[in-house]
Amino acid sequence: MTTIQLTLPDQQVSALQSKAESENLTIEELLKQTIETILAQSSEKERAMDYVLAKNRALYERLA
């Protein structure tokens, strides 16, 4: 596992702390969940694009 350090303005840290507290999480937990969500969304988009490309491959070849 790798540790990452960030330098953030006090205002952002304060906003993160407020958001984390409202969800009963630590800042670290909030950031981990956010990163997991972003990575999952990227994977879903890639799968959707692959599906559309595969489904329409013959059409794209005729149009080329």
What Cα–Cα distance (Å) separates residue 9 from each residue in 6, 21, 26, 46, 54?
A: 10, 18, 18, 33, 45
Give the model confidence (pLDDT) of 6-62 as tens digits.
999 999 999 999 999 999 999 999 999 999 998 888 777 888 888 888 888 878 788
Residue with tokens 């799968």: 47
Q: Is the pTM of this model over 0.75?
A: no
Residue type, 47: R
Contact 27, 17 (CB under 8 A): yes
